[in-house]
Amino acid sequence: MDRIRIVGGPPLEGTIRISGAKNAALPLMIASLLTSETLTLENVPNLADVGMLLRILGHHGVDHSVDGRKPGAAPEASRPIHLSARRIVDTTAPYELVRKMRASFWVIAPLLARMGEAKVSLPGGCAIGTRPVDLLIMVLEKLGATIEIEAGYVHAFARNGLVGAEITFPKVTVGGTHTALMAASLAKGHTRLVNAAREPEVVDLADCLVKMGARIKGAGQAVVEIEGVASLSGASHTVLSDRIEAGTYALAAAMAGGDVLLDGARADLLQSALDVIEKAGAEISVTNEGVRVRRNGSGIDPVDVTTAPFPGFPTDLQAQLMALMTKAKGTSRITETIFENRFMHVQELARLGARIQLHGDLAVVEGVEELQGAPVMATDLRASVSLVIAALAARGETIVHRVYHLDRGFEHLEQKLSGCGAIVERLSEPA
Ligand code: EPZ
Q: Is the CB of 141 under 6 A from ligand 1?
A: no
What residues are paired with 38 via a beta bridge? 84
Residues known to be catalytic: 126
Distance between CA atoms of residues 166 and 412, nearest Å? 43
Q: Are strands 283-286 and 290-295 parallel, antiparallel or unpaired?
A: antiparallel
> Which of the listed residues 131, 168, 204 should we mutate to test ligand 1's pocket, taking the one with most ligand atoms within 8 A of CB?
131
Instruction: Give the CA angle between residues 261, 265, 269 to the nearest 5°.
Output: 140
- At 126 the pLDDT is 67
Distance between CA atoms of residues 35 and 235, nearest Å? 10
- At 338 the pLDDT is 96
Tell me the CA–centroid distance for residue 173 and ligand 1, in Å: 6
- Topology of 3-19+241-427 in CATH? UDP-n-acetylglucosamine1-carboxyvinyl-transferase; Chain (3.65.10)
Q: Is the CB of 113 under 6 A from ligand 1?
A: no
Q: Which atom of ligand 1 is nearest to the CA of 130?
A: 27
Distance between CA atoms of residues 153 and 424, nearest Å? 43
Q: Is the CB of 120 under 6 A from ligand 1?
A: no
Q: Are strands 371-372 and 394-395 parallel, antiparallel or unpaired?
A: parallel
Do residues 13 and 392 lie in contact, with contact meaning Cβ atoms separated by under 8 Å? no
Q: Is the CB of 45 under 6 A from ligand 1?
A: no
Which residue has a Cα nearest atom 13 of ligand 1?
Answer: 23
Which residue has a Cα nearest atom 35 of ligand 1?
Answer: 316
Tell me the CA–centroid distance for residue 205 and ligand 1, in Å: 16
Q: Is the CB of 26 under 6 A from ligand 1?
A: yes
pLDDT 10s digit of each residue in the chain, 431 long?
899 999 999 999 999 999 999 999 999 999 999 999 999 999 999 999 999 999 999 999 999 999 877 777 776 677 899 999 999 999 999 999 998 899 999 999 999 999 999 999 998 666 766 789 999 999 999 999 999 999 999 999 999 999 999 999 999 999 999 999 999 999 999 999 999 999 999 999 999 999 999 999 999 999 999 999 999 999 999 999 999 999 999 999 999 999 999 999 999 999 999 999 999 999 999 999 999 999 988 899 999 999 999 999 999 999 999 999 999 999 999 999 999 889 999 999 999 999 999 999 999 999 999 999 999 997 889 999 999 999 999 999 999 999 989 999 999 999 999 999 999 999 987 65
> Which of the listed residues 174, 202, 239 should we mutate to test ligand 1's pocket, taking the one with most ligand atoms within 8 A of CB?
174
173: CB partners within 8 A, 6+ apart: 135, 136, 197
Tell me the CA–centroid distance for residue 309 and ligand 1, in Å: 10
Q: Is the CB of 398 under 6 A from ligand 1?
A: no
Q: Which atom of ligand 1 is nearest to the CA of 131?
A: 27
168: CB partners within 8 A, 6+ apart: 194, 195
Q: How far is CA 58 from the centre of its chain?
A: 22
Q: Is the CB of 132 under 6 A from ligand 1?
A: yes
Distance between CA atoms of residues 228 and 186, nearest Å? 5
Residue 125 burial (10 A CB sphere; 0-12, 13-18, 19+): exposed
Cis peptide before 311 (omega within 30 of 0): yes
- At 68 the pLDDT is 76
Tell me the CA–centroid distance for residue 398 and ligand 1, in Å: 30
- At 381 the pLDDT is 93
Tell me the CA–centroid distance for residue 223 and ligand 1, in Å: 19
Q: Is the CB of 53 under 6 A from ligand 1?
A: no
- At 340 the pLDDT is 86
C-alpha distances in Å from residue 250, one per residue of 276, 359, 413? 11, 28, 14
Q: What is the 3-state secondary structure (H, E, C) of the chain?
A: CCEEEEECCCCEEEEEECCECHHHHHHHHHHHHHCCCEEEEECCCCCHHHHHHHHHHHHHCCEEEECCCCCCCCCCCCCCEEEECCCCCCCEECHHHHCCCHHHHHHHHHHHHHHCEEEEECCCCECCECCCCHHHHHHHHHCCCEEEEECCEEEEECCCCCECCEEECCCCCHHHHHHHHHHHHCCECEEEEECCCCCHHHHHHHHHHHHCCCEEECECECEEEEECCCCCCCEEEECCECHHHHHHHHHHHHHHCEEEEEECCCHHHCHHHHHHHHHCCCEEEECCCEEEEEECCCCCCCCEEEECCCCCECHHHHHHHHHHHCCCCCEEEEECCCCCCCCCHHHHHHHCCCEEEEECCEEEEECCCCEECCEEECCCHHHHHHHHHHHHCEECEEEEECCHHHHHHCCCHHHHHHCCCCEEEEECCCC
Distance between CA atoms of residues 8 and 210, nearest Å? 46
Distance between CA atoms of residues 126 and 372, nearest Å? 29
Which residue has a Cα nearest atom 5 of ligand 1?
Answer: 316
Distance between CA atoms of residues 127 and 379, nearest Å? 6
Report the CATH superfamily, name and number, of domain 22-238: Enolpyruvate transferase domain (3.65.10.10)
Tell me whether domains 3-19+241-427 and 22-238 share a fold.
Answer: yes
Q: Are strands 3-7 and 190-194 parallel, antiparallel or unpaired?
A: unpaired
Do residues 60 and 85 lie in contact, with contact meaning Cβ atoms separated by under 8 Å? yes
Q: Is the CB of 410 under 6 A from ligand 1?
A: no
Domain boundaries, the chain: 3-19+241-427, 22-238
- At 70 the pLDDT is 75
Tell me the CA–centroid distance for residue 234 and ligand 1, in Å: 28
Which residue has a Cα nearest atom 21 of ligand 1?
Answer: 316
Amino acid at 232: L
Which residue has a Cα nearest atom 38 of ligand 1?
Answer: 173
What residues are paired with 267 via a beta bridge? none
